[in-house]
Amino acid sequence: MLLDEAYRAMFAQNHRARRAVLDTGDAALPHSIGGSDPCETVLTEGELCDRLIRIRQGLRVPTARHRRRA
């Protein structure tokens, strides 16, 4: 999905955003500004939080290069 690619690119290019999402650890990611009706918003609260959690999980996965160093 295009929006997923945009979010991945943002976190790939912005170290502060990467650090911020990783610093949340395993905490739930609340979001209360958006709406819950998909007909009234681009991303519902749940969709945004789910997307950020998937990104956080993806950032934690060590690459092959990092595994060789360990």
User: Are residues 64 and 53 in contact, defined by beta-carbon separation less than 8 angstroms?
Assistant: no
Q: Per-residue b/e over 27-48, b at no fewer than 16 CB within 10 Å?
A: eeeeeeebeeeeeeeebbbebb
**pTM listed for this prediction:** 0.74
Q: What is the mean pLDDT of the chain?
A: 85
Give the residues of the chain that fall short of pLDDT 70: 62-70
Domain ranges of the chain: 2-69
